[in-house]
Amino acid sequence: MQMLSVNKRAALLSVVLLIVALGAWEISVTRQVMGEALTEYEILMGLGQPRAAVPPPSDVLVKAWEQLSNPFYDNGPNDKGIGIQLAYSLYRVLSGFAMAAALAIPLGFLIGMSPVAYKALNPFIQVLRPISPLAWMPLALFIIQDSEASAIFVIFICSVWPMLLNTAFGVAGVRSDWVNVARTHELGSLRTALTVILPAAAPTILTGMRISIGIAWLVIVAAEMLVGGTGIGYYVWNEWNNLDLTSVIFSILMIGLVGMVLDTIFATLQRAVTYAE
Amino acid sequence: MSKPFLSVERLSQTFPDGAGGTLTVFENASFGIEKGEFVCILGHSGCGKSTIMNVLAGLAEPSAGVVKMDGVAVSGPSLDRGVVFQNYSLLPWLSALKNVTFGVKARYRDWSREKVVEHATQYLAMVGLEGDVIHRKPSQLSGGMRQRVSIARAFANQPKLLLLDEPFGALDALTRGTIQEELLKIWSQTEQTVFMITHDIDEAILLADRILLMTNGPFARIAESVEITIPRPRRRTEIVEHPNYYAIRNHLVQFLGKRSKELAGRASGGESQSPESVRIDLTAPTDDPEPAPQKPVLHAVNG
A10 and A74 part of one domain: no
Q: What does the DSSP 8-state code read for residue A133?
A: G
pLDDT value of residue B45: 81
- Least confident range from A42-51, A263-272, B35-44, B89-98: namely A42-51
Nearest residue in chain B measured CA to CA from A200: B93
d(CA B6, CA B69): 5
User: Residue A255 sits in which domain range?
Assistant: 55-273
Q: Which of B250, B257, B256 is nearest to B292 (CA)?
A: B250
Cβ <8 Å between B87 and A177: yes
pLDDT tens, residue by residue, B114-124: 999 999 999 99
- Least confident range from A23-32, A253-262, B198-207: namely A23-32
Which of B54, B75, B91 is the mutation pick for testing A, counting most A CBs within 10 A? B91
Q: Say whether residue B4 is in contact with chain A using an 8 A CB cutoff.
A: no
pLDDT tens, residue by residue, B127-143: 889 999 999 999 999 98
Output the average pLDDT for chain A.
90
Q: What band does A40 get if pLDDT is binned at 50, 70 and 90?
A: confident
Cβ <8 Å between A184 and B59: yes
Could you tell me the residue ranges of all domains in chain B?
A: 1-75+159-168+193-303, 81-158
Cβ <8 Å between A181 and B91: yes
Q: Say whether residue A188 is in contact with chain B using an 8 A CB cutoff.
A: no
Chain A residues near residue B59 by CB distance under 8 angstroms: 180, 183-184
Answer for the pair B183, B120: CB distance below 8 angstroms, yes or no.
no
Nearest to A184 among B83, B93, B137 (CB): B83
Cβ <8 Å between A178 and B91: yes
Q: Say whether residue A181 is in contact with chain B using an 8 A CB cutoff.
A: yes
A29 and A125 part of one domain: no
**At residue B303, does pLDDT exceed 50?**
no
Cβ <8 Å between B89 and A185: no
Chain A residues near residue B157 by CB distance under 8 angstroms: 185
Cβ <8 Å between B102 and A185: yes
Q: Say whether residue B137 is in contact with chain A using an 8 A CB cutoff.
A: yes
Q: What does the DSSP 8-state code read for residue B132?
A: G
Average pLDDT (B144-161) is: 91
**Residue A71 half-sphere exposure, CB side, CA atoms within 13 Å?**
14
Nearest to A180 among B59, B137, B138 (CB): B59
pLDDT tens, residue by residue, A205-225: 999 999 999 999 999 999 999
The amino acid present at B190, given as its one-letter code, is T
pLDDT value of residue B74: 86
d(CA B303, CA B301): 6
A15 and A85 part of one domain: no
Helix (H) or strand (E) holding A158: helix A147-172
Answer for the pair B209, B37: CB distance below 8 angstroms, yes or no.
yes
Q: Say whether residue A187 is in contact with chain B using an 8 A CB cutoff.
A: yes
Cβ <8 Å between B93 and A181: no
Cβ <8 Å between A177 and B102: no
A35 and A104 part of one domain: no
A62 and A146 part of one domain: yes
Q: What is the pTM of this model?
A: 0.83
Q: Say whether residue B231 is in contact with chain A using an 8 A CB cutoff.
A: no
Interface confidence: ipTM more than 0.95? no
d(CA A229, CA A148): 9
Q: Which of B25, B33, B15 is nearest to B268 (CA)?
A: B25
Q: B106 to chain A nearest CA, in Å? A: 6
Q: Say whether residue A8 is in contact with chain B using an 8 A CB cutoff.
A: no
Q: What band does B19 get if pLDDT is binned at 50, 70 and 90?
A: confident
Q: Does residue B227 sit in helix, strand or coil? A: strand
pLDDT tens, residue by residue, B217-229: 788 888 889 999 8
Q: What band does B259 get if pLDDT is binned at 50, 70 and 90?
A: confident
pLDDT tens, residue by residue, B52-103: 888 999 988 888 888 999 888 888 899 999 999 888 889 999 999 999 999 9
Q: Say whether residue B146 is in contact with chain A using an 8 A CB cutoff.
A: no
- Four-point Cα dihedral A109, A112, A116, A118, nearest 10: 100
CATH class held by domain B1-75+159-168+193-303:
alpha beta
CA A253 to the chain's CA centroid: 12
Q: Say whether residue B109 is in contact with chain A using an 8 A CB cutoff.
A: no
pLDDT value of residue A231: 93
Q: B153 to chain A nearest CA, in Å? A: 11
Q: How many domains does chain A have?
A: 2
**At residue B269, does pLDDT exceed 70?**
no
Nearest to B93 among A180, A187, A199 (CB): A199
Q: Which of B273, B287, B289, B301 is nearest to B24 (CA)?
A: B273
Which of B59, B75, B80, B89 is the mutation pick for testing A, counting most A CBs within 10 A? B89
pLDDT more than 70, % of chain A: 92
A8 and A65 part of one domain: no
